[in-house]
Structure 1
Amino acid sequence: MEVVLVCFLLSTLHKLPYELEIAMLALVSLVCIYGTFASLINCIFSQRVLPMGPPLIKEKMNLEISPELPCPVASSRLSSGLLKIAGLLEEGGVCGIPTDTVYALAASCKNPQAIEKIYNIKDRPAEKPICICISSVEQLVAAKPPFSPLLWEFMRNVYPGGISCIVSKGNWLFKLGVGAAYDRVGTKDSIMIRVPDHTVTCHLCDITGPLAITSANPSGEPDSTHHSMVINRLGHKIQGVLCDGDSNEVVASTVVNCLRIDEGIITIVREGCVPAVKVQQIFERLKNTML
């Protein structure tokens, strides 16, 4: 390149013989063609296949260190991430997890102390019960709860999805895997069950067993619809966050009271992502078919 620059200078001063000027232009052309071809090949193969010199203009490297996160985080796209959060839950931690609606705080149903932590983290009123999350209706079938055919059919039509059903509590919960937290989930006589339509959440429940969950937000504040919201609002109080990007919904699940379903009555306790009208339509269709 030094020779080329000298030739350009001599050409500008009209001191360069015509033959050398032609040779210089040919050399510059070859260099340009090689540079273009090498850049294209290296870009296609994402590695340096053809050698090139260092860039003339170097970008200034950003050496700023990102602020330390307030709690461990894991990617939902990696099996190692899922196992990391499962391990924290098994150890009695509280973690933020994605669901098919909004982000939730989760604790193992084997650990009542972890469920107590959720109440403290959220400043949740003690009289508000916490529901449980399982991976499939088949888990319920294996626990053999004494549900009526109409309730079973209703559950099979709304699970998995953004609907939570309140049903009667019983010893069948121990077979489901609720364990020592039996008295800390639901009320004395009832329990709310979620079966999310979310592969990651269901895999997590398969690893840990039933999880006690509630929305991942301080009580009275809007739901968290991205893992960054969970980290920023509650990261300093919890043991981990399973990161999955934007949530599928902006509101929580629709809660349906099924305690009187055998009388032909269901009650919408909270209208969430599934419209109350749609829930009633499903129930009326099943009721007319079975009763």
Structure 2
Amino acid sequence: MNSNLVRFRATYICVLKEFTNCQNNLRFVFIPSRRKLSTTNHCKNSGLNMSTTINCYSSSENESFNTGSGIIGGYEPAKISSNILPSAMKTKFFKLSHTNDNEDVIESCVRILHRGGIVALPTDTLYGVACLAQSTEAVEKLYEIKARNPLKPVAICVGDLYKVCQWTRFPQGLIQSVSKTLGLEDKLDCQRPSSPGVLYGLLEDLLPGPVTIVTERSPSLNNTLNPKTSLVGIRVPDHKFIKDLTNRLREPLALTSANVSGEESSLRIDDFRSLWPKLDAVVDDGEVGTRYVNKTLQYAKEGSTVVQILNDGVSFKILRPGCAYENTVSVLKCKYGLKLTM
């Protein structure tokens, strides 16, 4: 096998194109980078052909670089077969840490998204692909990657309950119904369209979590997003990374499942590897969705429960059962007195 090492200058990533005597047919290895390491001191026992130089990086002063043991910079290397990815693929891969705030990954994703990029990332239910909802060009690219029907709306994602009302509008009938149920009629004079107000408790009972609420869109939302409807679905996933990312962006993400439209949803990044070359970045958090189990699913492959608040403000419709159907119906019917319509 010809040994060919390629320098790759993207932030936090080092690429090894091929290994000498490589038994796993590896093409890429991704390393969170902070400090340049000495090739001679750290790579001489790695099995690499040292006739060509390479820039190696590690994320701390004491982390090891040892390809022989399968550990690089304290991380498992990404093992990607050479027959899956083209050698010129520019997709960046990030592995989330459960011991820090992943600020470096967040900042990298912010830069990619601000450039109109598409990022695959974990949610509380499935892996999704996302872009800035306020960028028409990025949304068009998202539809193209998904091979999604342009008439099929895409939901948006925000980081907290107050931002839900910044980008949506709830029926006045719902506000009056909830205030009456909770005995908060005297608070209605202080109710602002862009603030949860008396609806805060209802939203808090459903979000963050595996629920997408469909209601009227705010005038602030990009009018080329779902242009054929005045409605929009919005959710706050119960996943720290995506909440931190959207709060850092201070604007919503257009978010849909990480798969080609019509194919099975993804719980691991390997499940959507056919999309990798089309994406600007992939954020890996291992398997997701394992916390949501219901009678028919081992995992949450049906995604979030999609509920529409109807214009009368006193009824709702389930558009997709998803993995939180029972809890969503119970909250809206039993606690807030809303009617389920078919």
Same fold flag (TM > 0.5):
yes
2:294 corresponds to 1:244: no
* Matching residue's letter, 1:278: N
Alignment check: 8 A CA contact 1:82 1:242 kept: no
Identical columns (%): 25
Alpha-carbon distance between aligned partners in 1 of 2:283 and 2:133, rounded to the nearest angstrom: 18
1:57-78 deviation per Cα after TM superposition (whole angstroms, max 9, x unaligned): xxx9655996576411112323
CA 1:143–1:169: 2 relative to 1, 3 Å: closer
Q: Which residue of 1 aligns with 2:158?
A: 134
Which residue of 2 is the match for residue 287 of structure 1? 336
- SS of the equivalent of 1:118 reads helix
The amino acid of 1:284's aligned partner reads K
**C-alpha separation between the residues in 1 aligned to 2:96 and 2:46?**
30
CA gap of 1:63–1:239, structure 2 versus 1, over 3 A, is same
Secondary structure at 2:337's aligned position in 1?
A: helix
Residue of structure 2 in register with 1:202 after alignment? 243
Q: Which residue of 1 aligns with 2:327?
A: 278
Call closer, same or farther: CA 1:186–1:103 in 2, change over 3 Å.
farther
C-alpha contact 2:164 2:234 (8 A) present in aligned 1? no
Q: Which residue of 1 aligns with 2:212?
A: 164
Matched, 1:221 2:241: no
Distance 1:139 1:170, change over 3 A: closer
Q: Which amino acid aligns with 1:113?
A: E
Write the deviation string for residues 190-228 of structure 1: whole angstroms up to 9, x where unpaired. 010011111101001012221001001001110011123
5+ long unaligned stretches in structure 2 = 1-44, 50-66, 68-78, 179-197, 290-299
- CA change 1:221–1:85 in 2 (3 A) is same
What does residue 183 of structure 1 align with? Answer: 224
SS in 1 for 2:322: coil
Flag the structure with higher strand content.
2
Q: Distance in 2 between matches of 1:199 and 1:220?
A: 28
- Per the alignment, do residues 256 and 186 of structure 1 end up closer, same or farther by CA in structure 2, a change over 3 Å counting? farther
Find 2:319's aligned residue among 254, 266, 269: 269
Give the match's secondary structure for 2:266: coil
Alignment partner, residue 154 of structure 1:
202
Note closer, same or farther for the CA distance 1:244–1:186 as it changes in structure 2 (3 Å cut).
Answer: farther
Q: Deviations over 1:96-126 (max 9, x none)?
A: 0111110011010221111111111111011
Q: Which has the higher contact order (CA 8 A, sep 6+)?
A: 1
What is the one-letter code of the residue matched to 1:76? L
Is 2:118 the partner of 1:105?
no
Larger Rg: 1
- Please name the residue that 2:103 is paired with: 79
Cα 1:166–1:261, aligned 2, differ >3 Å: closer, same or farther?
Answer: farther
Distance 2:113 2:303 in 1: 22
* Unaligned segments of structure 1, at least 5 residues: 1-59
Q: Is the 8 A contact 2:168 2:232 kept in 1?
A: no
Backbone CA RMSD of aligned residues: 2.5
Counterpart contact for 2:167–2:218, Cα < 8 Å: no
